[in-house]
Structures are given as structure tokens and as C-alpha cells.
Amino acid sequence: MAELTYRDAIARGIAQEMARDDRVVLIGEDVAGSGGVFKTTVGLLDQFGPKRVIDTPISEQAILGAVMGAAMTGLRPVAEIMFSDFFAVCWDLVVNQMAKTRYMTNGQVALPLVVKSGNGGGLRFGAQHSQAIENWAMAVPGLKVVTPSTPEDVIGLMAAAVRDDDPVLFFEAKGLYPTKGEVPAGEIVDTLGTAKVRRAGTDATVLALGLMVPRAMQAADHLAGQGISVEVIDVRSLVPLDTATILGSVAKTGRLFTVEENPRLLGWGAEIVSIVAEESFWDLDAPIERITTPHIPLPSADSLEDLVLPSADSIAQTVEKALQA
């Protein structure tokens, strides 16, 4: 085991797949010479050279157009959109082209590509550079949507994404870039569409994604001191969604809380709440509660950003209040 930061795990995950398969290429703004604006691609240019690690102009449309063509002609490209907010600039390519090409060609043209992007808040970048947009993506048929929360999961899910024959949007939680975790040596390959139980519990189920996972874990630690046993599930993959793990946990605990960095309206948790209400209504002992960011643009002031994003304290307080009602 070695300790690795979340950002370094991204580079290791990409390097693992580039070394394994010479069809894997990396393309994006500043991914080569400078190692990425968030330093998630450091060393890849030296290891694989300029024909496989390619800097581009500042054009999200050009980046995604290039990787789409590359995927259609036999490569397995990884593209970087620097901030996930900038998907708004190239959303037509994602929604109307990438997501639909395999379907509209009756499977004759696959699009084995990954689009990685820094996602969400926590770094004081303000309303145009701090959005968590995984709920945008999961609404589009034909896309797979992944958000890891640990360095080991970064590597394993990146491998699974690169090896998949469908387009995968790989959202990196910007607030987790400097965090560290234990990572085993050797090849790591995970499975898309699988959640992980990060902490077992009996009194309540808390679902979290990305940056919210360690905050949910901190909340669970606090609640354990109050005699409340919380099961924390790291959703990891929104499409495909591991409903079996989620519904199994709800059947055990009888209570469900979702912790979402998305603004409240139409966040990913709303869809899961709908599924649980349809599939496991009689397992519930109380109404489901969603812990979310308000439906507002994210502030850039540190005190205001901290106020509106779900925190370990707000998660713990919400769960404790509900269980004591």
C-alpha cells in the first residue's frame, strides 16, 4: 500500500490505461506541458510523448469534436474539460452527438471515450467555476456518469471508464484533489454501476457522492457518539445506478437521507428518492430527507460557500433531529 493524493491518483489511473493500451490518448487544455491546471496529468507527457498527450486551444467544442472523431475511428481517448461548468459550452456535442451515436447507428459505431472534469465547490471559485453538474449528465440517455471519492476509486473507476465502449463522464471532486488515501500496488480495475458501503449502520442510511462522502463519514462518526448508527453509502456511479445496494440498505435501516452538492431542484437525490418510494415504500419508517445546497448560484466568499454547501455538522444535525422526532 502507498498513500496517494486524489489528484495524483487521476494521473496514475490514466497512465495505467495508456501503458496497457496504446489506443488510449489524452487531449485537453494544458494537460501536457503543465500537467493540467489542477495538476492531475503531471508526468504523462514525459511518459507517453506528444503524440498521445496533446494540448489543445481553449475550445471545448474542438476538444470534444476531436475525441469523438478519434473514438469513432478506433482510439480510446480521454478528454479533459477543465471545469465541469464549461460543459455548457459544448453540451450539444455531449447530448446530441456522443450520447446518441451508438444508438442511432444501431451499434455499428461505438464511442469508447472518457470526458474527465473538475466538478463542484469547496475551492472558492465562485458561481461560474464551482457547479456540481452530475445531475445534468444523468438526465441524458446514452451517457455513463461517475464520481469517485477516494484515490483508489479514482484509479479503478478510471480504468473501468476507459475500457467501456460507451461515453463516460468522469467527474472529479475538486475539493478532494489534495486529500490522501491508501492505494494498493499493481493494476486496479473497478466496475461501473457499483456503490460502496463506506460504513455499516442500522439506524439510518446516508447516501453521498464525491465531496459529500467524507463529510457524511464525519457526520456518522459524530452521530455514533450520540448512540446513532448510520450506514454511509458512496453512490460513486449515477449511471448505471446500483439500486440493489441502496434498496438493501433502506430495507435494513428504514430511514434514508441523501447528501447532495447539487442545487436542490432536480438534484440526483431526487431521482433516488423516487426509486426508493416506488420500490421500498413499505420498508420506510419515516419520510426520506434530502440534504442539499440551496437552489442558488454558489457564492465565492469562503464563509458563504461554507454556509450553503452541506457540511458534516449540517448532515449530523439533520439526521439527529429526524431520529429524535
Please list the active-site residues: 129
Q: How far apart are CA 281 and CA 275, in angstroms?
A: 9
Distance CA 25, CA 15 (A): 10
Name the amino acid, one letter, at 153.
D
Query: How far is the C-alpha of 193 from the C-alpha of 209, rounded, in Å?
Result: 13
Angle between helices 268-279 and 243-253 (to 10 degrees): 60
CB-based burial label for 2 (10 Å; 0-12, 13-18, 19+): exposed
10 DSSP assignment: H
CA distance 11 to 158: 10
Specify whether the backbone of 236 is left (phi greater than 0), alpha (psi in -120 to 50) or beta. left
Residue 24, classed as helix, strand or coil, is coil
Go through the chain and tell me how many residues it has: 325
- Cα angle 284-325-204, degrees, rounded to a multiple of 5: 40
User: Residue 120: left if φ>0, alpha if ψ -120 to 50, beta else—which one?
Assistant: left
